Amino acid sequence: MTTLSERPQWESDIYQIKRSDLVAGGRDGIANKQAQQLANRTAFLKKSALKSGYTFRDGAILETENDLIKYGDVLYAWTGAFNKEVPAGSSPESTGGIGEGAWKQVIDSNLRRDIASRDGFGNIGKGNYADIRTYTGAATSFLCYGVASAFDGGHGEFERADDDSTTPDNGVTVLVDALNRRWFRRFTGNIRAEWSGIHDLSQSSSPVDSYIDRLLMASAVGSPDGYPNKIIDFGKSRRFHVSRRFYIRGGVYKASAIVGVPDGIKTGFGIIGRFACSGNAGFFCIQMIQPYFDIEVDNGGFTPLTVPGIDDYFFRTEAMISNPEIHIKGNYYPGTCWYQTGSNDMSDVRAQWPDITNSMVGVQNLNEGTIRVNTCGRGFVLKGTTSGFGHLTSIWEQANVRRSVMHTMADVGIVSYENYIPETSEEGSGLLLQSCGTVSFGLLASGAGGKPQIQVFDSQTVSVANALFIAGKNVAGDSVAGQCCLEVSGSLMQIANLRLGKVGSAIRAGFGSVLDIGDITASGLSDILTLTEDTSLMTYRGANTGGGYETRATIKGGRCHRLNRSGFGFAARAPIVVMPEILTGALVVNNLQFTECGSGWNDESDKYLIDIRTVSRGFSFQSSFSRYQDNNTNYPIRLGHVEQLRGWNGNIFNAAKIRYADGAESTGYGREVIIADPAWGMGSWSYTRWRPAKFKGIAVLSADTNFLITRNGVTAFNANKAGNHYFEIDLHYGDYVTISGNESLVTLTQRSWSMTTE
């Protein structure tokens, strides 16, 4: 091991190792430079100990840099030209000043010893913000113990910046002293709200608005364009009263800046914290790129100056918030936790920032987001991001007053949405998707009240990988009258896997909707699907309420167990119903197993599994490979018109029958039904029914003569010998049939029609 060689000389400055320095040891290595300089100073002070009796009070003549002189308790060395005359009663400032080529402070050995002791930190000078603001000394760094007192959060180190004469005092990261010099807080990372001396609700119920003003000023320090560009961290354990709205702009960006923004102009602004809000209070943010928000509004146990209404909002995003990360929590806040009008309405933005004249979306390319809202007015209203909204990792809502809304939103990905709506609530924590483009859910879970829980209106493509709906509680009286889990109106919606539980009603669809369900498991409910445009059952009041729109529903597989049972307070109702007002559309049911449904009811009409009440032949029904038998009824299906059955294949039906509205019933395991159409005779005919049929009969030829039936110009039946000849002609919509023969020799008897399927 080698040691440093001390040289008794005064070192004016101690070298600070730079980031670019290559660290090396040895005699002249940069890693040893500071230690060498400090060792030289110590040797110098030791050698000068006998000469350190000079004072400014008595005066002296200093001949070398080793001659030290005291002013009060501070030891000085002269770094200028010698000999240096010091008049009696003078001071460092009056005899050359303090700085390079003038007086320099020297730490004596006793002080060095005291600092090195176990409790030596108490020997280091320190002060508060007021001390810095009144300071006139020569120090270039200042150790601060607090804003006003120790442990008030303001502690830290400030450095003097002599090259800055304009940055204002923000009471957080920049202080201005009595000589108008700027002192900058030394820190990395986020701005901590405690540096402002802010108080939380456990200390005072007073608003902290003025502190937030200063924190926003601090966030803008060093910003190239003067807008806030650093995260303000209030911490998550403290709660702060906010009594007014803060309008925060992160920059000046065009809509084209949303994609491909260089790193150099990313905003970097953000807020982390927990707040309690009075009315008209919160954060209104615009024009930000890659901001970060992790914020909570919690009005639990808090008395606001004015009570927020449902249209008040805690957090608002407008005019291009690009690629953000947003985490919102709400508890006991009567307003809306997250609000956005986007390109739908720019009036509030322009009222604050008149320079923004173009319409802009709000949030776009959301990098990650979560929403958790409990017992609030409403979780969120998000509008006007017509493409490229981004991804929400999770949404959880419980016991809110009004439903959340997504309106004119597109390219929305939600990994998980869950809510709890009290069973007796009509609206509660429900969700409305209105006029949206592509919206996808990994999980959509809702229950148990709601009228309905989820609304999907006039939306192009809503896809759900997994849906779980809880309908009601135990009996009908436990839930709001008219309870329903999902209403789909004027929309296209796909659900890959659907799980339904409890006792109420699951889904209603209409007004031109297309609903596609991949696999369904339902147990215990009153009903699972109703196609309707009845406004007493539907809440939709959009453009399609005029009626006449085609509504289609497809179920591709699953199991329905113990549905439509008596004893739960619900009127008897088929699990699947198509109401009379549905004039065009289709219901397709494949691979669906019904088991133990309709128990406890007596009348045939109370025990249908599928009840198509519309009498319009413009509505069609198809089913394949589904189980209908053994469900407490011989008539599991009722159709309003004989032409509605368009496909029937491989269903487990056995002795069961399809009932038709005119009283007819099916034969042949549901495939056929006899109808009383007028019999065709000699001549030309057109088949105009939409369901396939068989025209049957016997042609009695009293003598040899030619009898011919052609279909679409092609021979379908021909006989020319005397006798009885049975014929059966398969017909489809639009077929043209000609029956020809000598009417005096040919008699047609036992003619009949039976509707069939492909």
- Nearest alpha-carbon partner for 314 in 290, 298, 300: 298
Written as six digits, the tokens of 187 are 């820190």
DSSP state of 642: G
Predicted confidence at residue 260, as pLDDT, reads 46
Three-class secondary structure of residue 320 per DSSP: strand
Three-class secondary structure of residue 619 per DSSP: strand
> Crossing angle, helix 33-47 and helix 109-116, to 10 degrees?
130
Residue with tokens 């029914």: 689
Three-class secondary structure of residue 451 per DSSP: coil
3-state SS, 511-574, equals CCCEEEEEEEEEECCCEEEEECCCCCCCCCCCHHHHCCCCEEEEECCEEEECCCCCCCCCCCCC
| Sequence-separated (6 or more) residues with CB below 8 Å from residue 292 | 231, 269, 270, 272, 324, 325
Written as six digits, the tokens of 437 are 């483009």
Give the start-to-end residue ranges of the domains of the chain.
125-188, 474-672, 676-755
| Sequence-separated (6 or more) residues with CB below 8 Å from residue 668 | none
From the centroid of its chain, how far is CA 581?
37
The CATH classification of domain 676-755, taken from the options 2.60.120.10, 1.10.3720.10, 2.60.120.40, 3.40.718.10: 2.60.120.40
Written as six digits, the tokens of 329 are 């929590």
CA distance 385 to 320: 9
Tally the C-alpha atoms within 13 A of residue 194's C-alpha that lie toward its C-beta.
15
Q: In which element (H, E) is residue 428 found?
A: none
Q: Running along the chain, 758 residues long, what does each successive block of 10 average in pLDDT? A: 67 64 64 72 59 82 87 87 92 90 75 53 69 94 94 94 96 97 96 98 97 98 93 97 98 69 64 98 97 98 96 98 97 98 97 95 96 98 95 97 97 97 86 98 95 96 98 91 95 98 96 98 97 96 89 98 94 97 98 96 95 97 94 93 95 91 90 90 96 96 98 98 98 97 96 90
**Residue 516 identity (one-letter amino acid):** D
Predicted confidence at residue 721, as pLDDT, reads 98
For 327-386, the DSSP string reads EEEEES-SSEEEEE-GGG--HHHHHH-TT--S---SEESB-EEEEEEESSSEEEEEEEE-
Predicted confidence at residue 118, as pLDDT, reads 52
Check: CB of residue 365 under 8 Å from CB of residue 322.
yes
Check: CB of residue 334 under 8 Å from CB of residue 308.
yes
Check: CB of residue 691 under 8 Å from CB of residue 645.
yes
Three-class secondary structure of residue 216 per DSSP: helix
CA distance 501 to 430: 18
| Sequence-separated (6 or more) residues with CB below 8 Å from residue 416 | 393, 394, 395, 396, 441, 442, 443, 445
For 31-66, the DSSP string reads GGHHHHHHHHHHHHHHHTGGGTTEETTT-EEE-STT
| Sequence-separated (6 or more) residues with CB below 8 Å from residue 690 | 617, 620, 643, 646, 733
Predicted confidence at residue 121, as pLDDT, reads 47
Check: CB of residue 155 under 8 Å from CB of residue 149.
no
Residue 569: how many other CB atoms lie within 10 Å: 14
Residue with tokens 């040895």: 26
DSSP state of 167: P
Helices vs. strands in the chain: H and E counts, helices first? 5, 54
Q: ω into residue 83 within 30 of 0, thus cis?
A: yes
Q: Which residues pair with 55 in a beta bridge?
A: 70
| Sequence-separated (6 or more) residues with CB below 8 Å from residue 726 | 696, 697, 698
Check: CB of residue 538 under 8 Å from CB of residue 530.
no
Written as six digits, the tokens of 321 are 């918030």
**Degrees (nearest 5) of the Cα angle 446, 451, 456?**
65
Measuring CA to CA, how many Å separate 57 from each of 72, 78, 92, 293, 377? 9, 16, 11, 60, 74
**Residue 499 identity (one-letter amino acid):** R
Predicted confidence at residue 400, as pLDDT, reads 96
Written as six digits, the tokens of 438 are 């592509």
Written as six digits, the tokens of 7 are 């040289």
Please provide residue 525's backbone torsions phi and psi, each rounded to the nearest 5 degrees: -75, 165
Check: CB of residue 532 under 8 Å from CB of residue 579.
yes
**Residue 477 identity (one-letter amino acid):** G
CA distance 610 to 531: 11
From the centroid of its chain, how far is CA 626?
39
